[in-house]
Chain A
Amino acid sequence: MSTIEHPTNYRKYLDPKTLARIASLDLRARLIVEGLMTGMHRSPYQGISVEFAQHRPYVQGDDIRHIDWKVYGKTDKIYLKQYLEETNLHLICIVDASESMGYGSVGDKDAIWTKYDHATAIAASMSYMAIQQQDSVGLAIFDNELKRFFKPSNSPGQWKIITHELCLIPRLKKTNTGRILDQLAEKLNHRSLVVLLSDFFDDIESIKKGLRHLRYKKHEVMAFQILDPLEIEFPFEDVTLFKGLEEMGELLTEPRALRDGYLEQLRLATERLKKLCRGMHVDFTRMNTADALDVSLSGFLATRAASIK
């Protein structure tokens, strides 16, 4: 009797519900990246490096800017030049570890996928991809103060350190994003790609200050606002006592009556944040913790590639 082996379906590992069951963050990150890469026709990495790697035949749809005309002149065949990524990219993942990031509704009772889980998965995945390309990766974790900061490094052990730190940070305090960004801007001497992962439930003016400081230091900034689906939809119906995280007090109300008002406030805040980012050339992406991570990451990579070109 023969058995048929099916190829591993990596996409299933991109679902937050699945990832929530995987305790190890490094394993999560690997699965995310592998799942992301599987089935791609073109590597998103190629084209953003400067060191030549190889030639390959032209196929329809390839960017003609990469055609090696010299080879064409000699052989009368169209080849593309491919490069390896340069290792001078510094990726700094700044992860909000405040109490509000601990909120989550996705997943099962035993394995809840919080906003912080989502942020750490993204941070770990990006770090993994960067290290794979010999880039330097740094990490900052904060709540109302900078809890951890690791300078960028491309050593193979860096990723292990990062994933380990992301797993340990407790989340009990208020957030103070603006001040932290200020501090980081002072600490980062090398131009870096700063990835900010937060729910941005903070004072917008202080965030603005921090971002402006980072941009002033010529850092490339990508802001990911991570929200839970309940925060986006606000589907509550019965009378509910909302107990605010980060010392925000309590509110007993009939949520049906407040729903429109809440969604409006959320929309306004998001719009302000988007406008702020747009004004400072900061990439802003709102992420739903219920969405698969590959969508978020591929969107990020595509945006990134487009900006480099």
Chain B
Amino acid sequence: MSFITPVFFWAGAALISIPLIIHFLNRRRFKLVQWAAMEYLLQALRKNRRRIKFEQILLLTTRCLILALLGLALARPLGCSESSLANLMGSKSGLHVFVIDNSYSMAYEADRQGARTHFDQAKLLVKQQIEKLVAGGESVAIIAAARPKLGEDGAPQSQLVFRSSFNLDGARSAVDGIEQSYNGTDIAGALQLAAAVAKEEQKQPQKFLYILTDCTRSAWENNQGDQLKQIGRELAGQFGSRVRINDLSKPGQWNYGVLDIKPDGSLVTTNFHTDFLADIKGFGAGGETLVQWQWDNTPLEGGTTLKPDTGTQLQRQTKVDTTKAGGGPHVMTVSLTGDEKLKIDNTRSRVFEVAAELKVLIIEGERGTSLLSGSGAFLDLALAPKKEITPQGKVRSDSYVAPEVISDLELGNKVLNDYRAVILSNVASLSPAQADQVQKFVEAGGTFMTFMGEQVNPDQYNALLLPRKLLPGKLVARKTTPDPKGFTLDFKPNAPLHPVLNIFRGEENSGLDTAPIYTYYQVEVAPDAKAEVVLNFVAGDKETNDPAITIHPMGRGRVVMVATTANGEWNNLPPKPAYVALIHELLAGTVDVGDKWMNLTVGQPMEIPAGLKLTGPPVLTDPLKKPIPVDAIQPKSGSMFYRSKPLEKPGVYLLNTGSSVIPIAVNVPADEADIRALPPDSIRKALGDIEMQFFGDNVPAYALSRDDSNDLGWSVMAIVLALVAAECFMAMTFGHYRRSSVRRVQPAMPAA
């Protein structure tokens, strides 16, 4: 037996001594009376000694019992088996925490009676169980397990939809109020919240956790393994063995989903034809499905029928001619048509910013150089190889990149927001104002590339660029080797490569691994820079761990640093066939083509970038043409921008800027598509092998009957009241409360 407030039990046990103490104190505190009729008194005592003793013991016992039971009642004992008589009188108590998985996988149409989807069934089960709870004794907390929505301030809202309360009607209403989310599952967050709720409710020793989920792999088998184990231990600490999971999945349930759409390359431009790829996966054994493509709502040819599985099956679409599509945002939509039960992820749209040209500003640091002698000129040629010179003397190129080479002295005259990327090549230093300008440019989404050279002043770089996070780390030393073979790059064509080097995968003759590098700046990468090392330098056969190329994020943009020169001054890279491709890939892999803000996941707000030209207040409408509020946000530092509230439903939204309409694609998270149910052992293992019970998709038997959580407090209190009444009756009967009609007189002592 356990108690809700055990301290009262011990207090009651201690209170037992009070009647005994009073009894003995009374015997010590007596009145002295000289008495003449002693014989009658002694006779009365002789005749009634047993009765009086019995009455006294009975009364004393009753009084002790009253106090002990009063303590017991206030301690609110719990216990009694279901069949015991006391159980009939017991009232339940305890905390019941319901975690309802409302992620989009729960929208699976199982077509149960009265519940179309898993989610409907989960709500039904929770309400049925709440109806079985006892008002006033049992409290309920309800947690939604889908990834939390973002609030107005962009911070995630709590998943706790109903704070622990004895208001069972309110709890039922809260269950009704939970909406089917189009987001993924955050089972770790929800369970952590459940543990926190239980921890707050210290007064309720009996705590129950009910998890109503479809037990999908996507929810339980992700990268949160250790975190789930840690949470499992917390749950075991708070709930003990009272963790109950209702597995709502249907045997053999399956799902197909379009998980991604991407171009077959880094950029979609009007200069080249681009193929598009759709990542379609199948989870579970289903039938065939028809893949359909749409470009700006126009169906495309090339629809295929397939039976997807968990392997990567990239579907290629070759019919879009981007050279004729014109620059600007375009929407590609891929949808699946079949007899699926979960349709939410069957359609995915993506907005592509088809770039007519990519403007890049190259800042040449070496002054007074002739054509092709400066490193900036090498970059210019690499990014936009010259094709011909027009009769007007203009150089023409097929490249989608439009580089512009300027001297570092001209930097102050340029508006950086007109460019997608800014490249410093062998620049000695920037002024603080220029550094600030570049910092803002990157934070707003631009790409900043730095190439080293003779002109570079490392102290100035460390003093100006490093604090503004425009360098991945401190420039420690300049390293030069007299060896004619020089340093090399640790490029291994068949080893795992950084994504920007993907096009070199398997290329044995790219030259990246053989080009000698004679001089470079050693960079001590800062731990907080989050820098990705693309390539390191190798000294002979020895790894140096000195990064040659790094990429790190800053704000919404990215910073690329190359530790050597862009021309052949410090290395022999430019003659290599991979040089042009490497520069292109570094640019394409890091430049923000400007369509990220147009491709959102459910739950994210839309933020209009500062550079977007607006001729009127922006108006956002959802797929059903319903307007969505867009607020002007003025941050404490920086310029004003517009942000919508989080977009909760998938589809293509439209943003009217006054002069143009921009599509905004909102998709469900791809990682929720795997709805294959995990067996109980796997879930138990995921939670660190804690003790838990598994039930099906019906109300379990335990919820339909009273269980071992009976609170016998009121029953004991009733016994206490009965004992009090009995005590009064006995005391009256035994003459203890009878008052004499004769006034009390202090008898006289006999005169001597």
Q: Given A228-B747, A251-B41, answer yes or no on A257-B33 (Cβ-Cβ < 8 Å).
A: no
Closest Cβ–Cβ distance, residue B581 to chain A (whole Å): 110
Q: Does A256 contact B (CB under 8 A)?
A: yes
Q: Does B39 contact A (CB under 8 A)?
A: yes
Q: Which of B45, B52, B734, B745 contacts A105 (CB 8 A)?
A: B745
Of the stretches A26-34, A157-165, A235-243, A300-308, the one at the interface is A235-243
Residues A104 and B747 in contact, CB atoms below 8 Å apart: yes
- When distances are taken between beta carbons in the complex, the residues of chain A under 8 Å from B35 are 103, 242-245, 248
Q: Name A's interface SS.
A: mixed
- When distances are taken between beta carbons in the complex, the residues of chain A under 8 Å from B42 are 244, 248-249, 251
The residues in A between 76 and 108 inclusive whose CB is less than 8 angstroms from any CB of B are 99-106
Residues A103 and B36 in contact, CB atoms below 8 Å apart: yes
Q: Which of A106, A230, A249, A269 contacts B40 (CB 8 A)?
A: A269
Q: Does B544 contact A (CB under 8 A)?
A: no
Q: Which of B31, B38, B741, B751 contacts A244 (CB 8 A)?
A: B38
The residues in A between 219 and 267 inclusive whose CB is less than 8 angstroms from any CB of B are 227-231, 233-246, 248-249, 251-254, 256-262, 264-266
Q: Does B44 contact A (CB under 8 A)?
A: yes
Q: Given A231-B37, A244-B38, answer yes or no on A114-B750 (Cβ-Cβ < 8 Å).
A: yes
Q: Given A201-B37, A235-B744, A243-B34, answer yes or no on A99-B45 (Cβ-Cβ < 8 Å).
A: no
Q: Does A48 contact B (CB under 8 A)?
A: no
Q: Does A172 contact B (CB under 8 A)?
A: yes
A105–B739 Cα distance when bound, in Å, is 19
Closest Cβ–Cβ distance, residue A122 to chain B (whole Å): 18
A240–B30 Cα distance when bound, in Å, is 5
Q: Does B735 contact A (CB under 8 A)?
A: yes
Q: Given A231-B36, A260-B735, answer yes or no on A237-B740 (Cβ-Cβ < 8 Å).
A: yes
Q: Which of B34, B37, B742 contacts A235 (CB 8 A)?
A: B742
Interface 1/0s, chain B 21-34, versus A by CB < 8 A? Answer: 00000110111111
Q: Which of A101, A170, A249, A264 contacts B38 (CB 8 A)?
A: A249
Interface 1/0s, chain B 42-54, versus A by CB < 8 A? Answer: 1111011000100
A238–B740 Cα distance when bound, in Å, is 12
Residues A199 and B735 in contact, CB atoms below 8 Å apart: no
- When distances are taken between beta carbons in the complex, the residues of chain A under 8 Å from B38 are 242, 244-246, 248-249, 251
Pick the most buried of A101, A106, A256: most chain B CB atoms within 10 A of its CB. A256
Residues B736 and A102 in contact, CB atoms below 8 Å apart: no
A136–B260 Cα distance when bound, in Å, is 142
Q: Does A171 contact B (CB under 8 A)?
A: yes
Q: Count chain B residues whose beta carbon lies closer than 8 angstroms to a beta carbon of A.
A: 41
- When distances are taken between beta carbons in the complex, the residues of chain B under 8 Å from A253 are 41, 45, 52
Residues B52 and A257 in contact, CB atoms below 8 Å apart: yes
A193–B27 Cα distance when bound, in Å, is 50
Q: Does A280 contact B (CB under 8 A)?
A: no
Residues B55 and A257 in contact, CB atoms below 8 Å apart: yes
Q: Does A112 contact B (CB under 8 A)?
A: yes
Residues B750 and A171 in contact, CB atoms below 8 Å apart: yes
Closest Cβ–Cβ distance, residue B39 to chain A (whole Å): 6
Q: Given A257-B734, A257-B735, A258-B41, answer yes or no on A100-B36 (Cβ-Cβ < 8 Å).
A: yes
A214–B517 Cα distance when bound, in Å, is 154
- When distances are taken between beta carbons in the complex, the residues of chain B under 8 Å from A242 are 33, 35, 38, 41
- When distances are taken between beta carbons in the complex, the residues of chain B under 8 Å from A112 are 748
- When distances are taken between beta carbons in the complex, the residues of chain A under 8 Å from B29 are 239
- When distances are taken between beta carbons in the complex, the residues of chain B under 8 Å from A99 are 36, 750
A199–B740 Cα distance when bound, in Å, is 23
Q: Which of A114, A233, A249, A252 contacts B742 (CB 8 A)?
A: A233
The residues in A between 253 and 299 inclusive whose CB is less than 8 angstroms from any CB of B are 253-254, 256-262, 264-266, 269
Closest Cβ–Cβ distance, residue A245 to chain B (whole Å): 5
A171–B749 Cα distance when bound, in Å, is 12
Q: Does B752 contact A (CB under 8 A)?
A: yes
Closest Cβ–Cβ distance, residue B55 to chain A (whole Å): 6
A188–B388 Cα distance when bound, in Å, is 174
Residues B48 and A261 in contact, CB atoms below 8 Å apart: yes
A95–B52 Cα distance when bound, in Å, is 38
A230–B33 Cα distance when bound, in Å, is 11
Closest Cβ–Cβ distance, residue A131 to chain B (whole Å): 27
Closest Cβ–Cβ distance, residue A237 to chain B (whole Å): 7
Q: Which of A106, A235, A251, A257 contacts B740 (CB 8 A)?
A: A235
Q: Does B323 contact A (CB under 8 A)?
A: no
- When distances are taken between beta carbons in the complex, the residues of chain B under 8 Å from A229 are 742, 745
B positions within 8 Å CB-CB of A? 26-27, 29-45, 47-48, 52, 55-56, 734-736, 738-748, 750-752
A-B residue pairs in contact (CB < 8 Å), sample of 16 = A102-B751, A105-B746, A228-B747, A239-B26, A239-B30, A241-B32, A244-B41, A249-B38, A252-B27, A253-B45, A254-B52, A257-B48, A257-B52, A262-B37, A265-B41, A265-B43
Given contacts A236-B744, A257-B48, 10 further A-B pairs with CB under 8 A are A102-B751, A103-B34, A105-B745, A105-B747, A105-B748, A114-B750, A199-B37, A239-B30, A253-B41, A265-B44
